[in-house]
Each structure stands twice: as structure tokens, then as C-alpha cells.
Amino acid sequence: MATLVVHDGAMTDIAASKPNTADRRGALVAAYAHAAEVCAEVRSDQLAGPTPCPDYDVGTLVSHLVGAGWRAVALGRGEMPTSEQFPHIELADAPRQLREAGVEAAGAWSDDRLRTMTTMPWGETYTGATLVDMYLSELMAHAWDLAVATGQKPGCDDDLASAALAAARAMLRPEYRDMMGVGNPFGAEQHAGDDATTLERFAAFMGRRIDWRP
């Protein structure tokens, strides 16, 4: 399955052509807390296990999740991210870092930053609102990945899941699925089923098979 690639320079012009004025900062902050809860349930003997993201095992996905969280903080502060790889994060430290990053993100994303246009390293320009949507989607998608990869039952407050789904729909247009190869930068939307939860519908929209198991 695809992973968001807003961190590594491969993102294409997703939603850059239409302004995004939504304010999902509260949901972004809640996504940090949710991701921290998922990471806290990961066991050390699971770190080498597979995840729905083919490029990441559990351990590297934990580091990636924390790194993406801090990158969203940097963007909120007006700092320009680089294409450098995220550093390794010890599993035991991941929940603390995510909670701390959530607090920092809450202070960093001001009203002005939400409206400010930011040109990313790959040359595309986005409103702060779109960047909030990108990282809300990324944190929630990878928290779901970690949960299913480590035998947890994915779940969160339905308001948070609804915000994540709205964010994903706002930034991800159909023509950008598989445009750089199957699953890259986003896979095809998957079928969730009539009885799917909102979180499952979000995961399916992000290209995840909701029945995926390691």
C-alpha cells in the first residue's frame, strides 16, 4: 500500500490547484495523541514485522511516524523541510515524542500559518490548511498501519476519523493514484463495505485493504 510521500520530495500537485480553507488543526493535534497510544502498544519483539507499507517494517514505520510528526511541527513554524531521512527512534521513546510533538504542533499552527502559502522542496505550493490535511492524513494512516501490523484493533474517536477522512478527500484527487507506479504515491481506493467504521473507510480511501493482516 502507498504511504504519503510528502516527506521525501516525491509528492506531486495534490490539491494544489484549488484553495483549501478548512481548519483541521484540532484533529491534527488529536492525531498525535492517537498515534502515541498506538505506538505505546507495540512490543519490541514486533519491530521486524511487516506492515501494510511495503517499504517499512514495524520499527522503521515507528521512526517514520515520529519523524513525520516533527516535520509537521516544523512546517507550522514556517521552517522548510529537507528530503533527509528521518532519524531512528527507539520504540520506548516514540509515544513521548509524539505527545510532545502534538503539543508543539498546537502552538505552531497559527491562524496566519493556516492561510500562508508554502512552497515545498519538490516545487509545489500549498496553503497551510492543505499541509495540515496532509499530515493529519499521514499520522492517521500510519497509526492504522501500525495497529493492524501489531495485532491491535484499530479504532479512535469517530470525530477524529471523520476529520481524517475529510482531510484525505480534500487533498487526494483520483488522478494522482498510482501515477508513479502501482501504489505510488497513493494506491487505488479500496472497498470498505457497508458496515465499515469511519476509520476503516478512511484507511480504504488511503489505499489500504482493511482486511490486511501480517
**C-beta neighbour count of 52 within 10 angstroms:** 26
What does each C-alpha distance from 55 to 2, 52, 61, 122 come to in angstroms?
A: 9, 9, 9, 21
Residue 210 lies in a domain: no
**pLDDT for residue 200:** 97
Question: At 87, which CATH number?
Answer: 1.20.120.450
**Average pLDDT of span 97-113:** 97
pLDDT averaged over the chain?
A: 87
The pTM assigned to this predicted structure is 0.88
Residue 15 lies in a domain: no
Residue 13 lies in a domain: no
Residue 49 lies in a domain: yes
Q: Are 213 and 152 in contact (CB under 8 A)?
A: no
Structurally, the chain folds into a number of domains equal to 1
**pLDDT for residue 170:** 94
What does each C-alpha distance from 144 to 58, 100, 110, 208 come to in angstroms?
A: 12, 20, 28, 9
pLDDT surpassing 80 at residue 21: no
- Could you tell me the residue range of the domain that residue 140 belongs to? 25-205
Residue 5 lies in a domain: no
Q: Are 52 and 1 in contact (CB under 8 A)?
A: yes
pLDDT surpassing 60 at residue 151: yes
Residue (of 54, 41, 59, 206) closest to 140 by Cα position: 206
Residue 68 lies in a domain: yes
